[in-house]
Chain A
Amino acid sequence: MNNGICRKTTRISDYILKALIYLSAIISVGILICIIGYVAFRGIGSISWSFLSTVTSEINNTFGILGNIVNTLYIIIITLVIATPIGIGAAIYLTEYAKPGKTVRLIEFTTETLSGIPSIIYGLFGMVFFGKTLFLGTSILCGCLTLTIMVLPLIVRTTQEALRTVPEGYRTGALGMGAAKWYMIRTIILPSALPGIVTAIILSVGRIVGESAALLFTAGSGYYLPKALFSHIFKSGGTLTIQMYLSMERGEFDSAFGIAFVLVVIVLIINTLTKIITNKMKKGA
């Protein structure tokens, strides 16, 4: 018996597999470090005050992304204003009202499906439905409505999770004291689930900022500053990602890297914010 307790057999396969596991982990982290490092290295040079605070001008031959930043803000705000109430409502329905059965299964299946549909399909759908059938053409509003459907599953899922962590005792307690259901949701459930809802909103902002394929044919690629606050939503407006794609296509890689750097910084901020909120939630619970 060579496999006694005292004699340890060395297995070569063990070492190989162990090495592979470590290697894979190093690759995964290494790729990220390379990406961030390279983008920062190439991008930071193009960042300047005029890059961030002016609009691209053909006459002066200058490049600036202020118009795109404003468009991105427009799209984020309008999309969230529409999507958040619907998403939270759907999550409330699923966790508080619905009784398990066919309807719930159907809603959950469709929510899954929505989160699996690639953004280019949303782009096509948005172009035909919001653009043509609803006569919005290529406009910021058309892009916002398209993105609303796209971020809906994210908001529903995250809010649902937050609602589930609200202790059952809160509900029974509130109902036991005679509160009606909507009153209970409004005063007890939603405030307790607030950090989770905020996380959902922040995650959606991240998704919207990074989106490009769904916006290319719906919101278009305009880069001018709004002339009027409200009517701007009916004009074509490209976000940062769209402008980046256009710069890449034209081979203007310096400006593309500048925008990439801005995007990566935004993603970093968003991830840190989510981390902080989830940590606070854990401490609170």
Chain B
Amino acid sequence: MEKVLPILKRISKSSSSDRSIMSGKGYVSFMEQLMECVFTLCGLSAVAAVAAITIYMIISGTPAIFKVGITEMLFGTVWAPTAAEPSFGIAYIVLTSIIGTVMSIVIGVPIGLMTAVFMSEMAEKRTAAIVKPAVELLAGIPSIVYGLLGLLIINPAMGRIEKILFSNSENHVMNGGANLISAVLVLSIMILPTVINVSETSLRAVPLSVRQASLALGATKIQTIFRVTIPAAKSGIITAVVLGVGRAVGEAMAIVLVSGNTVNIPLPFNSVRFLTTGIVSEMGYASGLHRETLFTIGLVLFVFIMIINIVINFILEGGDKNE
């Protein structure tokens, strides 16, 4: 059977592209050709969608760059779109998104990776049967719900810490805990499911023999996990991190109310604005150049995401070649 299958496959391929025995009648083969066309079109719909999104983002995002000036916009720090002399510097907004994402990765990835290790290496079947659905559920909860909880649990807690820390400083503007740290905490919870799922899959893909070899050489279970299994699953874990970055950069609704949403230097206890939250909070009323600038912010975000996607593609292709 093993030997026959490839031959059969070859036959089926050549016959299907021509004509099968039954399709001697014209209408059948017409139907066949029509359906092949339809399916090809469906297949190309994703390509068309990405092309359309790219083109539209560029068309609507670039005019403001030329009107404001690229250096003034990307390196300007004053965001006052509705002032008498409007200023459209998005440097702090971009910086906030970068720093916020890095911080949430620093918090979220270790916890996520360790949970993945727990699920694939340590947990018995019964325990894993509790943790896995829990993680899936965590992934399914709408982002706005995270936002609500961040607003009502994390913000007040941060507000209390803020009051203690800055009770003597005169320069600090109290914002009731709506600050960078709160947003980062919400984001790091939100990237957990992505990180856990992807790294668990890659840990499970490490062959058992690799672990057995390490254990047979006298390494303890923990040594095996950290010196052998995790390095072996490296490319999958990197993918998990990059996907986590993508999720964190693009999240909007969960942090729009949690982060305080005023443009500031991204310091831990400052109220800050991310790329995404800037769009959400101002698009409703913006007009003219202000609106165009918001599209430019969208374009910056889109460029970030495209870079991330290309990196992932690169990692995955590299992984395929190694195998």
Contact = CB atoms under 8 A, between A and B. Distances in A.
A35 interface: yes
B22 A128 contact: no
B46 A28 contact: no
A11 B220 contact: yes
Given A90-B43, A117-B305, A152-B45, A35 B149 contact: yes
Contacts of B223: 11, 14
Given A21-B117, A120-B298, A110 B252 contact: no
A179 interface: yes
Contacts of A121: 53, 57, 250, 298, 301-302, 305
A29 B115 CA distance: 9
B8 interface: yes
B222 A92 contact: no
A2 to B, nearest CB: 13
A18 B130 CA distance: 19
A253 interface: yes
A276 interface: no
Interface string A206-218: 1001111100110
B207 interface: no
Contact residues of A: prevailing secondary structure: helix
Interface stretch (A44-52, A192-200, A225-233, A259-267): A259-267
Contact of B137 (A32, A183, A260): A32
Given A120-B280, A180-B20, A249 B257 contact: yes
Interface string A261-277: 00110011011000100
A101 interface: no
Interface stretch (A53-61, A63-71, A168-176): A168-176
Interface stretch (B33-41, B73-81, B157-165, B170-178): B33-41
Interface stretch (B64-72, B262-270, B308-316): B308-316
Contact of A117 (B45, B250, B295): B250
B32 A107 contact: no
B128 to A, nearest CB: 10
B226 interface: yes
Give the size range of A's interface with the partner: 35 or more
Contacts of A35: 138, 141, 145-146, 149
Contact of B22 (A178, A206, A211, A249): A178
Given A107-B46, A149-B49, A13 B222 contact: yes
A27 B268 CA distance: 23
B62 to A, nearest CB: 13
B16 A175 contact: yes
Interface in B77-112: 110-112
Contact of A112 (B29, B151, B313): B313
Contacts of A25: 114-115, 118-119, 123, 131
A39 B153 CA distance: 11
A253 B155 CA distance: 14
12 contacts: A25-B123, A31-B189, A33-B134, A38-B149, A97-B36, A112-B313, A124-B60, A152-B49, A153-B46, A175-B15, A244-B144, A263-B145
